[in-house]
Structure 1
Amino acid sequence: MIKKILWVCILCILLFVLLPSSITAPKVLNVFKLTEDPDVIVRGMSGSALTVDISFGDTPLENWINELDAPYPLLLVDIAWAKRFSDSSALIKKKNIPVALLGSEGDLYEQNPELFAKQIEEFTELFGRKPLWFRTSDEVFPKTLQEMAWKHEVNSLGSTLRWKGGKLPTPKDGEILTVALERKATITFEDIERLRASREFHSVEDVLFPTDIKTKKIPE
């Protein structure tokens, strides 16, 4: 009887160890790669996401970041700006505001293939982690740049609409809206707050992969 039990146990162990290796595992998407091939994300499935490109701004911008409340927009920051205004960068980290890399113009990466890796390294040193998202300043993504981003496990993020102020855009399901705080920009912080108040915003990840969580109330 004991022998039979031992043989059954051994058989179960062998099945547990060997069976998974004999089955082809389903393709699992890397958590850092949100597309299956090099590509640029410009729209999601549902809801709205707000992203803010930051390459210019001093005290008023720091005050806005300080007063910013959740749900936070995704801030894409230029490395040169982040180094120049280290207090603002530290504030972004302290408040745990989602932050990503705002790069140079798209064509510059073809002229200087090492530029992308350098910016990723500088961002990682500054914010303590590699960016999940990357956007060029002009939203031009040459194919070679898309492949570089894919290799570094960073997702290329465009936008559905770049809003420059004025009349509020009509809400569209899955939209990724962008406002740019740059030297020549005419948009104000009041404009951004007006846009934020115009609809419910979610994270980029939630807009790309919406989840419907149902909860049951426990009877008292």
Structure 2
Amino acid sequence: MKKKILLVGSVTLLITLLFIVPRNYSSILPVFQLTEKPTVISKGTYGKTVTIDLTFGKDEIETLLKDIKAPYPHFFISTEWMERSMVIIKVMQEKHIPIGLLGQEGENYIENPVLFQKEVDQFEKIIGEKPLWFRTKDYQFPVELQEIAWKQEVNLLSSSKYWNEEVPVLTKGDVLSIPLHQDNRVDIKQLTQLLESQSFLPIEQNIFGLKMNTKTFPE
């Protein structure tokens, strides 16, 4: 009788865990596909997210990194900038600032089918792991690129709002894109003011309500 009671209790506990754990998503998520098929995500549900496209500038970025506080904006960075700025990349990694891969114009991936793989390999060499998120510089994602990224388990992110001359009004679910390029860039002081003016969520938490943490396992 005691064995039967113990068995029933164990089964009940197992069923409870099966139903509870997927909803709570224990905070540890690896690099993996967050969508069920090739697609481009541009908007979330649970809050507002700031993303920064970075291809140019060093001194201003160092200043920005000293001022910003968690939760951090998500940086999309070109591999060329990474290679020129390894010291800054190391600081970002130490502060656990999220880094995604910023690619070239979308049409380049049709003309050069191996370009995406080359950039992913460069990113992994520098950062130490594959990118979880990728976006093109012009926010164009050809079907061919979507399929390649899907096979590589890399998620594609566009934006719902863009900061050109003035800061757009953000609503719940928005993903704001901010340019920091040589020929198109936002003033760093204004950017810092925006980040301090309201609360923002990481990409995963905005889209899925998931909280992303990292954990190092001993080898």
**Whole-Å Cα distance in 2 between the matches of residues 50 and 173 of structure 1?**
12
Deviation of 1:181 after TM superposition, in Å, equals 0.2
Question: Which segments of 5 or more consecutive residues in structure 1 lack a partner in the other structure?
Answer: 17-29, 213-220
**Whole-Å Cα distance in 1 between the matches of residues 31 and 87 of structure 2?**
30
Could you say which residue in structure 1 is the equivalent of 2:169?
170
**Whole-Å Cα distance in 1 between the matches of residues 114 and 66 of structure 2?**
34
Question: Secondary structure at 2:53's aligned position in 1?
Answer: strand
**Whole-Å Cα distance in 2 between the matches of residues 169 and 58 of structure 1?**
26
**Whole-Å Cα distance in 2 between the matches of residues 106 and 211 of structure 1?**
29
Could you say which residue in structure 1 is the equivalent of 2:49?
49
Deviation of 1:67 after TM superposition, in Å, equals 2.9
TM-aligned CA distance change 1:74 to 1:211, over 3 Å: closer
Deviation digits for residues 92-124 of structure 1, max 9, x if unmatched? 112111111000110001111111001001101
Q: Which amino acid aligns with 2:115?
A: L
Could you say which residue in structure 2 is the equivalent of 1:72?
72
Percent of residue pairs identical: 37
Could you say which residue in structure 1 is the equivalent of 2:111?
111
Q: Which amino acid aligns with 1:183?
A: Q
- Please tell me the root mean square deviation across aligned C-alpha atoms, in Å: 2.1
Q: Which amino acid aligns with 1:209?
A: F
Deviation of 1:75 after TM superposition, in Å, equals 0.6
Report the count of equivalent residues: 186
Q: Given the two structures, how large is their TM-score scaled by the length of structure 2? A: 0.79
Question: Counterparts of 1:118-137 in structure 2 under 5 Å?
Answer: 118-137=118-137
Could you say which residue in structure 2 is the equivalent of 1:87?
87
**Whole-Å Cα distance in 2 between the matches of residues 188 and 84 of structure 1?**
22
Could you say which residue in structure 2 is the equivalent of 1:33?
33
TM-aligned CA distance change 1:110 to 1:50, over 3 Å: same
Are 2:47 and 2:206, in contact at CA under 8 Å, matched by a contact in 1? Answer: yes
**Whole-Å Cα distance in 2 between the matches of residues 186 and 45 of structure 1?**
27
Could you say which residue in structure 2 is the equivalent of 1:208?
207
Question: Which segments of 5 or more consecutive residues in structure 2 lack a partner in the other structure?
Answer: 12-29, 212-219
